[in-house]
Amino acid sequence: MSRRDSRLNTPAEMLVRFIFAARYVFFFCGLLFGVIALRNGSILESLKAMGFFAAMAAGHWWLKSRGKLEECDRALDAMFSGEVTPEEGAGLDALLERREVLEQRRGKPGFDPWEVQIVRREISNYMREHPESAHDLDNRR
């Protein structure tokens, strides 16, 4: 497991992601029960709708009070737009820079061709984990 994975898979971060996703589920359930309540004129269904909307609002408040709402919104926007986040782009930049430094030392005493191969494998693994950054790699070559 990489350092990036362990930071995002802490129980606290998983709870934040769960509550962020649950807000959308609560919204649509509240909407569904609201429509059913209007159609049938049922007070019980309208109470269920209000309960779901209250749960959605509570989740929103909880995320906002901890400063995680904007972070989750940015991550969701980046995921759907196919952008590379700044820290992921910095990781690719660092790998490409390391490869360039190694290639410049090629043919000089002390050059280790296996080190270049290791960096190439790291770039390949990075591209496999982050396929959205492929267009960035093409622009940097």
Tell me: the pLDDT tens digits for 23-62?
A: 999 999 999 999 999 999 999 999 999 999 999 999 999 9
What would the pLDDT profile of 56-91 be if each residue is shown by its tens digit?
Answer: 999 999 999 998 888 888 888 877 776 555 555 567
Taking the mean position of all CA atoms in its chain, how far away is CA 121? 24
What does the pLDDT read at residue 1? 41
Task: Mark which of 49, 64, 79 sits at the end of a domain.
Answer: 79
Query: Quick one: pLDDT at residue 118?
Result: 87
59: left (phi over 0), alpha (psi -120 to 50) or beta: alpha
Task: For 3-21, write each residue's pLDDT tens digit.
Answer: 555 566 788 888 999 999 9
Q: Which domain holds residue 108?
A: 84-140
**Distance between CA atoms of 140 and 3, rounded to whole angstroms?**
25
Pair (75, 106) in one structural domain: no
The one-letter amino acid code at 99 reads: R
Instruction: Report the pLDDT value the prediction gives residue 41, as an integer from 0 to 100.
Output: 92
Whether residues 72 and 89 share a domain: the answer is: no
pLDDT at 126: 81
pLDDT at 85: 54
pLDDT score of 95: 82
Instruction: Look at 47 and 116; give whichever has higher pLDDT.
Output: 47
Whole-prediction pTM: 0.55
Cβ-contact 45, 31 below 8 angstroms:
no
Q: Is the pLDDT of residue 114 over 70?
A: yes
Hunting for tokens 């029960």 — which residue is that?
33
Same domain, 7 and 70: yes
Residues 75 and 113 in one domain: no
Tell me the residue type at 8: L
- What distances in angstroms separate CA 74 from CA 7, 84, 109, 122, one per listed residue? 18, 11, 47, 27
74 and 99 part of one domain: no
The answer on 90 and 42 residing in a single domain is: no
Q: Based on the fold, state whether residues 106 and 63 are members of the same structural domain.
A: no
Q: What are the pLDDT digits (tens) for 119-136?
A: 888 888 888 777 766 666
Q: How many structural domains comprise the chain?
A: 2
